[in-house]
Amino acid sequence: MESAKYVSQKISKTRWRPVSYSSLQQPDIFAIGSWDNEENKVSVWSIGNLGSSGLEDGFEGDPQLICEYEHYGDVLDLQFLDQERIVTVSSTGAVTIFRHDQNSQTLSICKQWARAHRYPCDNAPSTGVACNSPEIVTVGEDGRIIVFRVDQEAVVRVIENADSSTLHAVTYLRTTEVLTVNSIGQLKLWDLRQQSNSPSQILSLSRDRVPLYCVDRHPNQQHIVATGGQDGMLCVWDVRQGNMPFSLMEAHSAEMWEVHFHPTNPDHLFTCSEDGSLLHWETSSPSEMPSFLQGGRNSSMTSRSAMAPAGGIQSIISAWLYGDSSKSRLETTHMLPSQTLSVNSLDMLGQCLVCGTDGEAIFVNRQVPV
Amino acid sequence: MEEVDVEPTVTNIPGIGHGKHMGFAWGPGDILVYETHFKPSGLTPSGPGGSFIHKVRKDEDINSPILRKLFNESHHIFVGLQTIKDDLPSKSKRPQFVSISRNYRSVIRACMEELQQVAAVSTRDTEMGTQYGNQVSILLAIELIWNLCEVLFIDAAPAGSLLLHLLDWVRLHKADVDEKAKDVLQSDSPAEHHNYWDVVVSYVLQGRLEEARQMLVKQATLQPASRNMYKLMDGLLSKMPFYNPGGTQTLTEFDVKWRNWHEEVDRYLKDNTFASNRHLELICKILVGDEDTLLEQKELLGTWYHFLVTRLLYSHPTVKPTDLHYYAQSCLTMFLDSRSVQEPLDSILLAAFEFDIYLVIKDCSIVLNNWWFVAHLTDLLDHCKLLQSHNLNFGSNMREFLLLEYASGLFTHHSLWQCAVDYFDHCPELGRACLELQIERVPLDTERKALKVLRICEERQMSEQVRSICKIMAMRALRNNRLGSALSWSIRAKDAAFATLISERFLQDYCAKGTFSDLDLIDNLGPAMLLSDRLTFLAGKYREFHKLYGEKRFKEAAKLLLSLMTAKIAPRSFWMTLLTDALPLLEQKEVIFSADQTYELMYCLEELTSSIDTAAAGGERPMQEEDVEQTKVELLRLSLARNLAMAIVKEGTVET
């Protein structure tokens, strides 16, 4: 890990700007959102591949601020909609689309839905956003799920009382289905094609009601979902089977704030936590293990998955579903030096990792072994 | 009470008229000040007079965005320092402490460099420029003092290496020589540059003899006539012995060697070897440690402590730590004769040379406008076991007192409060109490923030605070009509009373609407429902009745419903609803309530109506509501009577 860059703001979110998948390019631009400052900001940073091409060992120096824009309220979630647009949700309940103009290197607001999440007589913080351009889905403490379209002023759809407790995160499972997690340990699956205001499926974490704070979907096998919550455990679920988690793994000693599968190499997974740690998880099957335990249609695995028996999708069971059992090997590595304040967010793209902390530091690692 | 050391500074509050009386209230890091109506002859002050409340703060640096990096980064170092085990012998810990001290200083330096850059950019905005300039000079002073304390107290260098460390200290803080040298070397003919000799002499004054020799070579090539003289000087400079703490040479051996060299220099001076070149003669006089010559170089030395170190270098290179204060005092007096006043920095450094740690810390506390420096330095010195048995007659010991001041300041900051928690943790006596008082007052805008605050409290078993924070969140959820959230929060706090209150709200909502809200939560409470009787009733029994009813298991449903009343599980206020729930069961074709059960239901109804009547006698319920209630009761009586009839008939019939 490269050394910390202190940025004088508590960081709630860090996200890489997407790169086109056709090129084998590494990301070089990321956005951060701040929270709990008197004036919060969204800012765009470069890790400096722009001018200095002389150094090619991956340590070109500190991230440099490109541009920033004031953000009303805490940035509670932030996602890139595409290469130049960023969606944020705020503690004021607002949903905002920022545009990063790459010619003038400026940020500006191109659309805003103020008080999208609200109580009858107060603002309700919006806690999560998922994008599937042109569609945007947000969730909030008010228990609403709201669907927007980038090209429409009006809200497309609101699911009132989608949850009686707070919804903490949302992600797309398929183009028409989203998955939410709430503060009583439930995963709810919503089919946006259905007009009813009730979930098509509820999965829950036994009877302990441990609040869940983050969720991510396996990039290739869409039925596999990872979540993390208050007890810092990593849960892997198979939404097709049962309504209990498939495996539970000890991870952090405090709240897990984010979990991310590596977008192109899903044998790797990353989690960060209030306990100040960032973990890199890697499943690998010992060589004598059948190769079909490896993740499915992953391109780097094509040669091996070609050996998989022709028993259809059912037989290709992701190694993640076995957790830390004897059937697969799971290795975890700490990615940060000892740290005390919470790591609130991380993002992984290619070989590059970026994360941000309550200690107002950003860490970038350009050579994660994945 | 201790005496006041210095007259306190007067801060005028703009907007409060002259001669008005002010009221004030202490805050953790600041004071609130307001104008009152107090009249000198009057009886009591009658509250605020002006429409403004002013906030007065001593530690203004806390709001500087660049200094925030200092606070965050040093927080990290501080926490690392606290984890160094106490049981290790102090000898083996010393290198660790020195490296921690260096880490602190490098953070200060990084901050200073950034401030300098910003200050350079913002020269147009004079006010900001001055502010940045001030901060830079404060950081410079802080780093200077810290470095000296590191040499004298933390590293505690013995005679011999002491001087080497002091030389490093001076070189680091008198870096303008390097700037000048760069100018000179980059010019077309360095030897003719107007600053050339200044640079050479400065090098010599700082004991950087290798660099001085390289510069002299340039001059020597220009003056072939005096080549011999330059060669001689070069020889003197190259021969000057420096103590090597890692080598085999003892201090006495070094001393003998140095004295021989010194005598040699002295001989050349007496022989007037360099008399024909005033520059070389000057250097020779410096080498011999001539005080008057040194004092003539005031411009180049800049400060009395540079003078001190140069004087030691060329007269007493084996100075002992205990003798330092003598030389320091005399150098200060010699150097400052033209300036009558000592600056605060001078007396702080002097106190350090006198090894008076307490005076250093005290003076720094008075002079500096932030607590950062004294808190961190004192903490480090305390870890080095240099501050034992110094108790203040207020608060706890000095380390804790200063850390608490600093942490309280951080806690008043909108964002930095999180850093402060670790400082409180490492104040064994009063830290916890302070944290308890402050943590409850953190404004909670979002659940995310509340969760972070809760984690801090739960990790420290601060159950009172956990309850209070959960209650705040539960109240907020309740106000926004989010019963599910409110219940979750009160379950987390194990707050039975509040859970009862919310259960009541659920039941009221049910009475009003006939359906339950938030079933996803209520049906998944698990063991949490045992928190309060009312909650158990709601989420356990009553929901079970609905489930049985929904599954058309009427007999079981009826039995459960009756037992809720007869066993007094249901609150009396809810009986009417329960009886109403019984209506559809009574109206079923098939007999569900037996005769005995119907008697019991009737008894419940009568008990309820009699209590309602007594309540109504003194009450003033609106007529309409009364009517509705009355109709309901009559309907129930009718149904009960009919059911009783059917049940008696059924029970009296022998089935064939």
Which residues are CB-neighbours of A241 under 8 A, at least 6 positions away? none
* A94's tokens: 């607002």
Question: Which stretches does DSSP call E strand in B12-74?
Answer: 22-26, 30-36, 48-57
Q: Categorize the per-residue pLDDT at A299 as very low, low, confident or very high, splitting at 50, 70 and 90.
A: very low
pLDDT at B51 over 80: no
Q: Nearest Cβ partner of B447 from A35, A166, A341?
A: A166
Q: Is the dihedral of CA B346, B348, B351, B355 positive or negative?
A: negative
Tell me whether residues A230 and B451 touch, CB distance under 8 A. yes
CA distance A20 to chain B (A): 33
Question: Which SS3 state, helix, strand or coil, does residue A361 take?
Answer: strand
Asked whether the beta carbons of residue B485 and residue A161 sit closer than 8 angstroms, the reply is no
Tell me which chain A residues have a C-beta less than 8 angstroms from the C-beta of B521. 164-165, 184
Please state the rounded mean pLDDT for residues A244-250.
82
Please answer yes or no on whether B526 and A165 come within 8 Å at the CB atom.
no
* Closest CB to B68 among A121, A184, A360: A360
DSSP secondary structure of B320-346: -GGGHHHHHHHHHHHHTSS--PPPHHH
Residue B612 confidence class, pLDDT cut points 50, 70, 90: low
**AA letter at B159:** A
Q: Do A357 and A276 touch, CB atoms closer than 8 A?
A: yes
Q: Do A360 and B455 touch (CB under 8 A)?
A: no
Residues within 8 A of B (CB atoms), A 63-82 only: 73-74, 76
Instruction: Answer for the pair A115, A107: CB distance below 8 angstroms, yes or no.
Output: no
Q: Which of B:56-85 have CB within 8 Å of A?
A: 65-66, 68-69, 72-73, 75-76, 79-80
pLDDT of residue B602: 86
Tell me, what's the pLDDT at B366?
86
Per-residue pLDDT of B539-594, as tens digits, reads: 778 888 888 888 888 888 888 888 888 887 777 778 888 888 888 888 877 888 88
More confident residue, B183 or B58: B183
Question: What are the backbone dihedrals phi and psi of residue A100, each rounded to the nearest 5 degrees, phi first?
Answer: -100, 105
Contact A359 B75 (CB under 8 A): yes
Cβ contacts of residue A39 below 8 Å, gap of 6+?
Answer: A70
Nearest chain B alpha carbon to A144:
B482
Q: How confident is the model at residue A55 (pLDDT cuts 50, 70, 90)?
A: very low
Q: Which residues of A142-151 are buried (b: 16+ CB within 10 A; e: fewer)?
A: bbbbbbbebe
Under a CB-based contact definition with an 8 Å cutoff, are residues A178 and A190 in contact? Answer: yes
Burial class of B6 by CB neighbour count within 10 A (0 to 12, 13 to 18, 19+): exposed
Q: What is the DSSP annotation of B106-160?
A: HHHHHHHHHHHHHHHHTTSSHHHHHHHHHHHHHHHHHHHHHHHHIIIIIS-PPTT
Dihedral of CA atoms B247, B253, B255, B258 in degrees, nearest 10, equals: -80
Q: Give yes or no for residue A56 having a pLDDT over 50.
A: no
**A293 falls in which pLDDT band (50, 70, 90)?**
very low
Q: What is the pLDDT of residue A343?
A: 95
- Chain B CB contacts of A121 under 8 Å are 480
Q: Dihedrals φ, ψ of A20, to 5°?
A: -70, 135
> What mean pLDDT do residues B166-170 have?
94
pLDDT tens figures, B498-550: 888 888 888 888 877 777 777 777 777 777 777 888 888 887 788 888 888 88
Say if B415 is an interface residue toward chain A (CB within 8 Å): yes
Closest residue, chain B, to A359 (C-alpha): B72
The CB-side HSE value for A69 (13 A sphere, CA atoms) comes to 18
Q: Are strands A126-132 and A29-34 parallel, antiparallel or unpaired?
A: unpaired
| B343-358: pLDDT as tens digits | 889 999 999 999 999 8
φ, ψ for residue B260, nearest 5 deg: -60, -45
Residues of B in contact with A120 (CB under 8 A): 480-481
Q: pLDDT digits over B426-482, tens only?
A: 999 899 999 999 998 899 989 999 999 999 999 999 999 999 999 999 999 999 989
Residues of B in contact with A359 (CB under 8 A): 72, 75-76, 419
Tokens encoding A220: 């290739």
Give me the pLDDT at residue B116, please: 87
> What backbone torsions phi and psi does residue A361 show, to the nearest 5 degrees?
-115, 145
Find the closest chain B residue to A188 by CA distance. Answer: B520
Predicted pLDDT of residue A310:
36
Pairing of strands A268-273, B22-26: unpaired
User: What is the C-alpha to C-alpha distance for residues A223 and A174, in angstroms, rounded to an integer?
Assistant: 9
Judged against a pLDDT cut of 50, whether residue A286 lies above it is answered with: no
Cα of B41 vs its chain's centroid, Å: 45
Helix (H, G, I), strand (E, B) or coil at A314: helix
Angle at A220 between CA A216 and CA A222, to 5 degrees: 55
Tokens of B507: 């039941």
pLDDT at A24: 66
**Chain B nearest C-alpha distance from A125 (Å):** 6
Is residue A54 pLDDT above 70, yes or no? Answer: no
**Model confidence band, residue B41 (pLDDT cutoffs 50, 70, 90):** low
pLDDT at position B158 over 50: yes
Expressed in percent and rounded to 5, the helix, strand and coil fractions of chain B are: 70, 5, 25
Q: How far apart are CA B521 and CA B542, in angstroms?
A: 15
User: b/e string for B93-102 if b means 16 or more Cβ within 10 A?
Assistant: beeebbebbe
A10: phi then psi, degrees, rounded to nearest 5: -75, 130
What gap in Å lies between CA B656 and CA B652, rounded to an integer?
12
Q: How confident is the model at residue A100 (pLDDT cuts 50, 70, 90)?
A: very high
Q: Which residues of A touch B528 (CB under 8 A)?
A: 209
Separation CA B412–CA B417 (nearest Å): 7
Q: Which residue of A has its CA nearest to B520?
A: A164
The reported pLDDT for the residue numbered A294 is: 39
Lowest mean pLDDT among B171-175, B214-218, B542-546: B542-546
| Residue corresponding to tokens 């084998």 | A24
Task: Inspect the interface and report whether the beta carbons of B488 and A76 lie closer than 8 Å.
Answer: no
Please check whether residue A257 is in contact with residue A270, taking contact to mean a CB–CB distance below 8 angstroms.
no
* Torsions phi, psi for A216 (to 5 deg): -145, 150
Residues of A in contact with B451 (CB under 8 A): 230, 255
Q: By percentage, how much of chain B surpasses pLDDT 90?
A: 36
The label of the residue with tokens 């007259």 reads B7
By Cβ distance, the residue of B415, B524, B527 closest to A10 is B415
Say yes or no: B484 contacts chain A, CB-CB below 8 A: yes
B483 interfacial to chain A (CB closer than 8 Å): yes
Q: Locate the chain A residue with the closest alpha carbon to B449.
A: A36
Helix H, strand E, coil C: the string for A277-298 is: CEEEEEEECCCCCCHHHCCCCC
Q: Report the C-alpha gap between A36 and A359 in whole angstroms.
A: 12
Q: How far apart are CA B627 and CA A232, in angstroms?
A: 57
Show the tokens assigned to A81: 């909609």
For testing contact with chain B, the best of A3, A159, A203, A209 (most B CBs within 10 A): A209
Please check the confidence at residue A67 and state whether its pLDDT lies above 90.
yes
| A3-19+26-48+60-283+319-365 is a CATH 2.130.10.10 domain | yes
Does residue A164 sit at the B interface (CB-CB below 8 Å)?
A: yes
The whole-chain average pLDDT of chain A stands at 84
* Nearest Cα residue in chain A from B67: A8
Q: How far apart, in whole angstroms, are the C-alpha atoms of residue A271 and residue A334?
A: 10
For chain B, say whether A193 makes contact (Cβ under 8 Å): no
Nearest CA in chain A to B77: A339
B 450-469 near A (Cβ less than 8 A): 451-452, 455, 459
Cβ contact A125–B447 (<8 Å): yes
Q: How sure is the predictor about A107, in pLDDT bands with cuts at 50, 70 and 90?
A: very high
Collect all residues of chain B within an 8 Å Cβ-Cβ radius of residue A343: none
Q: Which two tokens stand for residue B505?
A: 């709200």
- Tell me if A8 and B65 make a contact (CB, 8 A cut-off): yes
DSSP state of B226: G
> What length does chain A have?
370
Average pLDDT, chain B: 85
Q: Which chain B positions have a beta carbon within 8 Å of A183's beta carbon?
A: 447, 485, 488
Q: Are A180 and A141 in contact (CB under 8 A)?
A: no
A71 vs A35: CA distance, rounded Å: 9
Interface contact A184-B446, CB threshold 8 A: no
DSSP letter at B4 equals: P
Q: Taking CA A273 as the corner, what is the angle to CA A271 and CA A277, rounded to the nearest 5 degrees?
A: 80
User: Touching check for B517 and chain A: CB below 8 Å?
Assistant: yes
Q: And the tokens for A242?
A: 């049962």
d(CA A186, CA A166): 11
Q: Is A136 helix (H, G, I), strand (E, B) or coil?
A: strand
Confidence band, pLDDT 50/70/90 cuts, at residue A306: very low
Residue (of B144, B147, B137, B172) closest to B61 by Cα position: B137
Q: What is the pTM of this model?
A: 0.85
Q: Is A337 helix (H, G, I), strand (E, B) or coil?
A: coil
The chain B residue lying nearest A276, using CA atoms, is B76
Unique residue bearing structure tokens 């001190």: B308
CA distance A259 to A234: 8
- Give residue A46's pLDDT: 92
Give A274's contacts in chain B (Cβ within 8 Å): 452, 455
A242: left (phi over 0), alpha (psi -120 to 50) or beta: left
What are the residue ranges spanned by the domains of chain B?
169-291, 573-655
* Position B599 pLDDT exceeds 80: yes
Please choose, from the candidates B405, B339, B341, the residue with its C-alpha nearest in 3D space to the C-alpha of residue B372: B405
| Least trusted range by pLDDT, from A362-366, B119-123, B201-205, B533-537 | B119-123
In chain B, pLDDT over 70 holds for what percent of residues? 90
CB contact under 8 A, A125 and B445: yes
In degrees rounded to 5, what are phi and psi of residue B268?
-60, -40
Identify from A75, A141, A164, A344 which residue to disrupt to test chain B contact, counting B C-beta atoms within 10 A and taking the largest count: A164
Cα B447 → chain centroid: 22
Which of B61, B73, B75, B76 would you mutate first to test chain A, the one with the most A CBs within 10 A?
A: B76
Hey, of B485, B487, B530, B538, which one would you mutate to test binding to chain A, going by the most A CBs within 10 A of its CB? B485
Q: What does the pLDDT average to over A142-148?
A: 94
Dist CA A108 CA A242 (whole Å): 46
Tokens at B559, concatenated = 């039995």
Q: Give the pLDDT score at B468.
A: 92
Name residue, tokens 């009541």: B504
User: How far is C-alpha A51 from the chain's CA centre?
Assistant: 30
Q: What pLDDT, on the 0 to 100 scale, is given for residue B614?
A: 63
Extract the tokens encoding B261: 């060299």
Peptide bond preceding A134 in cis form (omega within 30 of 0): yes
The answer on pLDDT for B621 being more than 60 is no
Lowest mean pLDDT among A298-312, A341-355, B121-135, B552-566: A298-312
- Confidence bin at A316 (pLDDT 50/70/90): very low
pLDDT band at B45 (very low <50, low <70, confident <90, very high): low
Residues found in chain B: 656
Band of pLDDT at residue B260, cut at 50, 70 and 90: very high
B157 contacts B243 by C-beta, under 8 angstroms: no
Among A96, A106, A131, which Cα is nearest to A44's?
A: A106
B384-396 pLDDT, tens digit each: 888 765 555 555 6
DSSP H/E element including A270: strand A268-273
pLDDT higher than threshold 80 for residue B153: yes
CA distance B67 to chain A (A): 8
